[in-house]
Amino acid sequence: MYIPRAIEDTVRSVSKTFPVLLLTGPRQVGKTTLLQKMAKDERGYVTLDDPDARYLAKSDPALFLQRYAPPVIIDEIQYAPELLPYLKISVDKNRRKGDYWLTGSQMFHMMKGVTESLAGRVGIIDLLALSNTEITKTESEPFTTDVERLLSRVNVAPKMDLQAIYQRIFRGGMPALYVEDAPDRDRFFASYVQSYLERDIRDLTQVADEMTFYNFLTVVAARTARPVVYEEIAREVGISAPTVKQWLSILVSSRIIALVQPYHNNVLKRVVKMPLLHFLDTGLAAYLLKWSSSETLEAGAMSGQFFESWVFSEIYKSYLNAGLQPPVYYYRDKDKREIDTLLLRDGTLYPIEIKKAASPGTEAVKHFGVLQPVTEPQRFGALEQHRIAVGQGAVVCMANDLLPIDKKNWIVPAWVI
């Protein structure tokens, strides 16, 4: 059973713009399935998972591209980077849009090769696991706090109660878990982690100790929705802080986690510089931390963290699926005042608080006022050019309906995203 993906329009647009389309993302998120479904048997297909195809691609790239002439899908391009210069020659010769559709894991060294070899010729799209809108078959659009948009969505998005939301959080968004005859969740994630460690980590990044990396992965999962303190992670795993930074970059480039940068403005003097960490698939994080059910997760000590990361990932996916870089930041200062998520669009900051509560009050938006100096920089000894507007705020929570808190802030049910 194929679940239509919100990113399909972006794929069509990029394919009409560039000779090469590269669809990247974590394992098992449906990259190949998506492109094969969209190709409708109108282009060839080859996977470099096949040892014979991989050998040909690495030993004789020119002959490989003769055998698999465009239009064609080339799966798992990271296994044969030798193809990239020959793809450049082919697209420069033929000058046709959409000739090559590639898939690959977004490991940093593979991406460096793509951007260097195919600069100006490749459109790169990130695909993550299923979003809630895809699972519920609701129209996807980049999340904003605009009241008119929210009012239009609250009437069409299926309502979800606490139990339904935590079932979604516990299962995560891997497409294989949402089809008929879906595999057992724990068995699926056990295989997923094993494949990730053995193929992506060992084969592509030369991490020497897989078990230490697995321990690192679980320690990181326990810090979802928390600022990164490299020294703490280093002590707990038994590695150096520089190794923590290197391994976190691997998780970021393979789209296991997102590191959200703190919003910085010269007017805001006391902002901390630590990035905020979010696991992008809460099902995988719950598996790594051995939560046995959605009920125990919801009642557990990490319940709020998982809810925050799930909401963040839904916002994050809504931008990626539209072909946009997510304009997300967060705020935390030395006085421990925090704003969970900030969207920066068109010179305006939109503050978003994420609360596992059904009826949050004005207390939930009390820290939004820390942004006031950016609207009047000259009053705080900064230049006028640092002025930023502060727009509509939101508290994303377990509410049943969309309701105003005050003139500038609204309560937004999590299922509306």
- Which DSSP helix (H) or strand (E) runs through 163? helix 162-171
Residues 105, 22 contacting (CB under 8 angstroms): no
The helix/strand/coil state of 7 is: coil
Rounded CA separation 364/161 (Å): 21
List beta partners, residue 397: 413
Name every residue whose Cβ is closer than 8 Å to that of residue 120 and which is 6 or more positions away in sequence.
none
Q: Given the structure tokens 């608080």, which residue do they identify?
A: 353
Alpha helix stretches (DSSP H) within 278-351: 282-288, 294-299, 303-320
Label residues 185-196 b or e (16+ Cβ within 10 Å = b): beebbeebbeeb
Rounded CA separation 6/137 (Å): 9
Nearest to 279 by CA among 322, 355, 331, 222: 222
Q: 0.75 cut: is pTM over it?
A: yes
C-alpha pair distances (Å), 259 with each of 106, 249, 280, 325: 15, 9, 10, 14
Tens place of pLDDT per residue across the chain (417 aa): 789 999 999 999 999 999 999 999 998 999 999 999 999 889 999 999 999 999 999 999 999 999 999 999 999 998 898 999 999 999 999 999 999 999 987 565 666 678 778 889 999 999 999 999 999 999 999 999 999 999 999 989 999 999 999 999 999 999 999 998 899 999 999 999 998 888 778 765 667 688 899 999 999 999 999 999 999 999 999 999 999 999 999 899 889 999 999 998 877 777 888 999 999 999 999 999 999 999 999 999 999 999 999 999 999 999 999 999 999 999 999 988 999 999 999 999 999 999 999 989 899 999 999 998 888 776 766 666 768 899 999 999 999 999 999 999 999 999 999
Cα angle for residues 40, 41, 44 (degrees, 5° grid): 130
Alpha helix stretches (DSSP H) within 239-356: 241-253, 282-288, 294-299, 303-320
DSSP string computed for 213-239: HHHHHHHHHTTTTEE--HHHHHHHHTS
